[in-house]
């Protein structure tokens, strides 16, 4: 696993205290522990400690937690990124039956990851990296950890609205397309 950087955790930080309770004393070990947690939706995504409560998380909650951990240790060079990539059978094989069912080759998906010195670091799942999606990447913006909820959804839905307007061959409304996407995400949690 590629780790973006390492430092000893500040014992006064709120997030660092949670890692220290687990015997994790540095950023590299924190990253490794987060990456090994199961991929699953969190009950209260707005709670930046939710992955400790739920013993798992999504790309959003895992990377927001790591961004906040870097920030509370004064490592401002770590950036939280919201990217859009075309999720397809090559980069996300588990969703292929759903894509096939709806006669789609891909579906644009919003994804969070970190950047440090312009290099992408993705700790969503074990054995997952930027190489999984980079060739299908469409766009990205830097966001704050507080933007992984409402802002991310609105950004993603606005992207899909524009995408569908340009794709006359896709017969789905935004609402239906979002439901197809939700089926894909549910499959990834299994």
> Exposed, middle or buried, 64 (CB in 10 Å: 0-12/13-18/19+)?
buried
pTM of this structure: 0.91
Direct distance between the N- and C-terminal alpha carbons of the chain, in angstroms, rounded to an integer:
23
Angle at 95 between CA 91 and CA 100, to 5 degrees: 110
- Residues 145/80, Cβ–Cβ less than 8 Å: yes
Q: Which residues contact 66 (CB under 8 A, 6 or more apart)?
A: 30, 31, 34, 78, 114, 123
In angstroms, the CA 87 to CA 137 distance is 9
- Residue closest to 125 by CA, chosen among 86, 160, 94, 89: 94
Q: Band of the pLDDT at 21, cuts 50, 70, 90?
A: very high
Q: Counting beta carbons within 10 angstroms of the beta carbon of residue 166, is it exposed (0 to 12), middle (13 to 18) or buried (19 or more)?
A: exposed
Please, are residues 67 and 145 in contact by the beta-carbon 8 Å criterion? Answer: yes
- pLDDT tens digits for range 34-88: 999 999 999 998 898 999 999 999 999 999 999 999 999 999 999 999 999 999 9
Average pLDDT in the chain: 93
- Report residue 159 as tokens: 């992207």
- Give the 3-state secondary structure of residue 141: strand
**DSSP one-letter code for 89:** T
Residue 125 is given by DSSP the state S
Q: In which band, very low, low, confident or very high, does the pLDDT at 2 lie, cut at 50, 70 and 90? A: low
pLDDT digits (tens, 9 = 90+) for 110-140: 999 999 998 889 998 887 666 767 788 899 9
């Amino acid at each position: 696993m590629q780790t973006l950087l390492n430092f000893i955790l500040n014992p006064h930080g709120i997030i660092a205290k949670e890692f220290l309770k687990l015997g994790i004393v540095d950023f590299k070990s924190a990253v490794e522990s987060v990456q090994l947690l199961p991929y699953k939706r969190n009950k209260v995504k707005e709670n930046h400690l939710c992955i400790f409560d739920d013993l798992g998380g999504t790309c959003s909650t895992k990377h927001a937690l790591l961004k906040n951990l870097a920030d509370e240790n004064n490592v401002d060079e770590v950036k939280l990124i919201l990217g859009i990539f075309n999720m397809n059978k090559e980069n996300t094989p588990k969703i292929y039956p759903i894509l096939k069912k709806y006669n789609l080759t891909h579906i644009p998906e919003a994804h969070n990851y970190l950047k440090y010195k312009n290099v992408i670091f993705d700790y969503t799942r074990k054995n997952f990296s930027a190489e999984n999606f980079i060739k299908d990447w469409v766009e990205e913006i830097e966001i704050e950890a507080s933007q992984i909820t409402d802002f991310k959804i609105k950004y993603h839905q606005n992207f899909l609205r524009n995408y569908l307007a340009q794709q006359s061959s896709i017969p789905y409304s935004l609402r239906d397309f979002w439901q197809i996407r939700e089926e894909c995400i549910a499959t990834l949690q299994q």
